[in-house]
Amino acid sequence: MHHVNGKQIAVIGFGRSGFAAARLLTVHGAHVTILDDKTPEKLTTWIEKIQAFPQVKLVLGGIDPTMVINSDLVVVSPGVPVNHPVLMRAMEKGVKVIGEMELAYGYCNAPIAAITGTNGKTTTTTLLEAMINASGRKAIACGNIGKAFAETVFELTGEDVAVLEVSSFQLETIEEFRPNVAAILNVTPDHLDRHEDMQTYVETKGLIFKNQKPGDALALNVSDKYTPIYTSLAKSDLYFFGFAEAIRGDKKLGCYIEKGAIELLGKTLVKADELQIPGPHNLENACAAALLASLSGVTNDVIAKTLREFKGVEHRLEPAGEVNGVRFVNDSKGTNVDSVVKALESYSRPIVLILGGKDKAGDFTRLAPLVKEKVTRIVAFGECKNKVVQQLSGSATVVEAGTLEEVVNGAFVASEKGGVVLFSPGCASFDMFKNYEDRGRQFKAMVQKLAAQKSKTEAKV
C-alpha cells in the first residue's frame, strides 16, 4: 500500500481512471492535482464529477513538468504512455510513478481474479463475474471495463471478488499488484504503435503473474504460442485451458474442449453446442472463465448453468438486427487484426466485412486467407482505409466509404440475402468516435435506421 496521507500527488490523465484515482487519494488524505493535456471543454463530464471534491486542483490544457516533478507520487492513467516526456523527467528525478490499478490494489480488501490477453478479455471477465454472482457471492467486473478499479474498492469487502480485465497499458505501471487467480487468454500482435516491439508486448502481458507465488493460480491457453515462455517463468500454481487436441505430452490440469464438450478438472460441464456465444475463440473464453470460477470456489453446477445462459457482451459479435434477410453483427470491440480473424471464423455465411479506423500498426494481410474464403466484399472506412485497400484488394473487392451511414448502406447493398454484414473494424475508434462503445452504438443506430427505411419503402409497395 502506498501511504498518501498529507502527500502531494499528481494524477496524470483526467478520465475514468484519473477521476477514480483522485477520489481514492483524496479520501485517504492526499493533496491531489489532476493534470491533462486536454482542454476543459473536452472534459466536461469529469469536471462536473470532480466538483464533489473541491479540494482537488485541476490543471488542464497542458501538463506542467514542474508540478509533476515536485510531487511525492505520480499516478498515471492507462491512456498515458509511460514514455511521456513529463513522466520520464519525473522518474529521472526519483519520483515514483504508478498506475491507477496499482494504487487501487493497495486499498482492495477483496481477493482478485485478473484476466489479460489480446482478445477475449471482456467476454471472459463478464462471464466470470456472472458465475461468481450466480454462486451467491458478490463480484464486480472492473478495470479495463465498467468501473475503474479505484472506484470499486469502496464497494468490495473481503468476502467479495474483484474481477479485473487488465490491459497491457495497466500492467506497464504495476509494482506490487498480485492477483489470487489470473489468466492470459492469448497474445497476438496489438498496440505495437505504443509498445516498442512484440517482445516488449509479450513481456508486458506476462507482468500479470510477476508477483504471484505458490498458492496463487495462473491459467494459460494450451494453444497459445507464448504459453511455454510464461510456463517457464511462473512461480504460481499452473492450470491450462483450450482445445484438448492442442495438448502436447501429458494432459495438464485445467479446462478443455474435448469430444464436443467442455471438461473442467476431469468432469464434463456442458456440451459445446449448448453455449449461446459463437465461435471457437469463445469456447476458449468459456473454458478460461470456468477454470477461474472453479479456482475461486464456484461449484460445477453453477458454472454449467451460467455457461448455458450467457448471451455475450455488447459490441462483441453482438446481433445488431436483420434487414431483408441480411444479418448485421456489431463487433466494434474488435480493435485488432487477430480479433477480426476470430470474428470471421465464427460465421459460415457469405460475409461483407467492414474494416477501418485509427491504425494500430496492424497487418491486414494476415486476413487474406480468410477473406478469400469467406468475404464477398470489404467496406473500408476511417483513417486507415487506404491501407486496407492496399493490403487486401488482391483478396476481395474493397470499396471505400466516408460516413458511418455510407458504410452501413454500402455494406447492405453489397450483401446477399442470408449473408452477414460484419462490423469488425480491426482498428482503434478514436479517428471518428469517442471510443469503441460509441462506435458500436452508432453502428447499431444506423442499422436500425436502415431497417426502418426498408420497412417504410416496402409498406408503400
Please give the residue range of the domain that contains residue 163: 108-309
Alpha-carbon distance of 340 to 345, in angstroms, equals 9
Alpha-carbon distance of 158 to 298, in angstroms, equals 16
Q: How confident is the model at residue 189 (pLDDT cuts 50, 70, 90)?
A: confident
Dihedral angle sign, alpha carbons of residues 295, 301, 304, 306 = negative
CB-count exposure of residue 81 (10 Å: 0-12, 13-18, 19+): middle
CATH code for the domain of 215: 3.40.1190.10
Query: Is the same domain home to 144 and 279?
Result: yes
* 25 in a structural domain: yes
Query: Is the same domain home to 67 and 125?
Result: no
Q: How confident is the model at residue 190 (pLDDT cuts 50, 70, 90)?
A: low
Query: Is the same domain home to 243 and 361?
Result: no
* 352 in a structural domain: yes
Query: Is the same domain home to 96 and 113?
Result: no
C-alpha cell of residue 156: 468490495
Residue 194 has pLDDT above 80, yes or no: no
Q: Average pLDDT, stretch 275-288?
A: 95
pLDDT at 461: 53
Length of the chain equals: 461
Q: How far is CA 381 from CA 406, 408, 424, in A?
A: 9, 11, 12
Q: Average pLDDT, stretch 283-305?
A: 98
Residue 15 and residue 46 in contact, taking contact as beta carbons nearer than 8 Å = yes
Written as one string, the DSSP assignment of 359-424 is --S--GGGGHHHHHHHEEEEEEESTTHHHHHHHHTTTSEEEE-SSHHHHHHHHHHH--TT-EEEE-
Q: Which residues contact 199 (CB under 8 A, 6 or more apart)?
A: none
* 278 in a structural domain: yes
Q: What are the two backbone dihedrals, phi and then psi, of residue 439, each rounded to the nearest 5 degrees?
A: -60, -45
Residue 10 β-bridge partners: 33, 74
Residue 392 has pLDDT above 60, yes or no: yes
Alpha-carbon distance of 92 to 392, in angstroms, equals 45
Written as one string, the DSSP assignment of 104-117 is HHTT--S-EEEEE-
Residue 110 has pLDDT above 80, yes or no: yes
What is the pTM (predicted TM-score) of this model? 0.86
Q: Running DSSP on this structure, what letter comes out for residue 177?
A: -
* 441 in a structural domain: yes
pLDDT at 249: 81
* 38 in a structural domain: yes
The tens digit of pLDDT for each residue in 8-52 reads: 999 999 999 999 999 999 999 999 999 999 999 989 999 999 999
CATH code for the domain of 385: 3.90.190.20
Q: Which residues contact 36 (CB under 8 A, 6 or more apart)?
A: 12, 13, 14, 18, 43, 59, 60, 61, 63
Query: Is the same domain home to 301 and 336?
Result: no
pLDDT at 308: 97
The tens digit of pLDDT for each residue in 319-354 reads: 999 999 999 999 999 999 989 999 999 998 899 999
The tens digit of pLDDT for each residue in 395-406 reads: 999 999 999 999
Among 268, 292, 309, the domain boundary falls at 309
pLDDT at 82: 87
- In total, how many domains does the chain have? 3
Query: Is the same domain home to 367 and 387?
Result: yes
pLDDT at 188: 86
pLDDT at 265: 95
Among 261, 280, 309, the domain boundary falls at 309
Query: Is the same domain home to 151 and 51?
Result: no
pLDDT at 191: 63
* 3 in a structural domain: no
At residue 147, the 3 state secondary structure works out as: strand
Query: Is the same domain home to 330 and 292?
Result: no
Residue 383 has pLDDT above 60, yes or no: yes
Among 263, 285, 309, the domain boundary falls at 309
* 1 in a structural domain: no
Q: Average pLDDT, stretch 231-248?
A: 95
Enumerate long-range contacts of 274-279, CB under 8 Å, 24 or more apart: 274/307, 274/308, 275/307, 275/308, 275/310, 276/308, 276/309, 276/310, 276/311, 276/312, 277/123, 277/310, 277/311, 277/312, 277/317, 278/317, 278/346, 278/347, 279/317, 279/342, 279/343, 279/345, 279/346
CATH code for the domain of 34: 3.40.50.720
pLDDT at 3: 85
pLDDT at 360: 86
Query: Is the same domain home to 27 and 146?
Result: no
Low-confidence winner among 142-146, 367-371, 435-439, 454-458 (lowest mean pLDDT): 454-458
pLDDT at 460: 63
Residue 79 has pLDDT above 90, yes or no: no
Whole-number percent of the chain with pLDDT over 90: 89
pLDDT at 294: 98
Query: Is the same domain home to 84 and 233?
Result: no
**Quick one: angle between helices 300-309 and 121-134, nearest 10?**
130
Q: How far is CA 72 from CA 17, 34, 61, 95, in A?
A: 19, 14, 22, 6
Residue 143 β-bridge partners: 165
Query: Is the same domain home to 217 and 76?
Result: no
C-alpha cell of residue 332: 466494434
The tens digit of pLDDT for each residue in 162-173 reads: 999 999 999 999
C-alpha cell of residue 382: 476511417
Query: Is the same domain home to 117 and 241?
Result: yes
